[in-house]
Amino acid sequence: MRYWLMKSEPDEASIDHLAQAPQQTLPWTGVRNYQARNFMRDTMKIGDGVLFYHSSCPAPGIAGLAEVASTAYPDPTQFDPQSPYFDPKATQQTPRWQLVDVVFKQKITLIPLATLREHPALAHMQVLAKGNRLSITPVTATEWRFITGQLVSPA
């Protein structure tokens, strides 16, 4: 099993959206970074743990726990000219962008970015690295255990 931190802007897809979605599952659409796409396509497996992170908002941080619920498949937004994620170079025969479905596990009291920075056990988390802009980053098993064991409290 692997662990991931997946960022989403809460006005687009929040932990509350995930909790209220049919079957509490959402497709992780709109990823347009090759490294993040490759994580979904090549490395993520059903059952992997997800730290659901709210980004680009007044209070960024980990807002909930989720799980990878599907293998990767083509992101349909790349084919939709009305979508902000449209990619004119993508075709049905040769899609460029993949997604996975995520399923809700638990809403938690927000763990702000500043709180993550306070803990030496998390000093090497990719989300804390200067200049990190990836929407999906791996989380080590040690980091996962620390966050879920020490910092998570139900919302």
pLDDT at 155 over 80: no
pLDDT at 103 over 80: yes
Tokens of 11: 């006005």
Q: What is the identity of the amino acid at 91?
A: T
pLDDT tens column, 51-63 = 999 999 999 999 9
Are 51 and 98 in contact, with CB atoms under 8 Å apart?
no
pLDDT tens column, 105-130 = 999 999 999 999 999 999 999 999 98
Q: Tell me the torsion sign for CA atoms 56, 60, 61, 63.
A: negative
What local confidence, expressed as pLDDT, does residue 130 receive?
86
What is the β-pairing status of strands 49-54 and 3-8?
A: parallel
- Domain with residue 100: its CATH number is 3.10.590.10
Beta pairing partners, 50: 4, 66
Give me the domain span that covers residue 101: 3-151
Are 35 and 97 in contact, with CB atoms under 8 Å apart?
no
A 10 A CB-CB count for 91 gives: 11
How far is it, in rounded angstroms, from Cα 105 to Cα 155? 12
How many separate domains does the chain show? Answer: 1
What local confidence, expressed as pLDDT, does residue 19 receive?
97
pLDDT tens column, 4-58 = 999 999 999 999 999 999 999 999 999 999 999 999 999 999 999 999 999 999 9
List of residues 6+ apart from 117 with CB closer than 8 A: 128
**Taking the model in full, what pTM does it have?**
0.95
Are 100 and 43 in contact, with CB atoms under 8 Å apart?
no
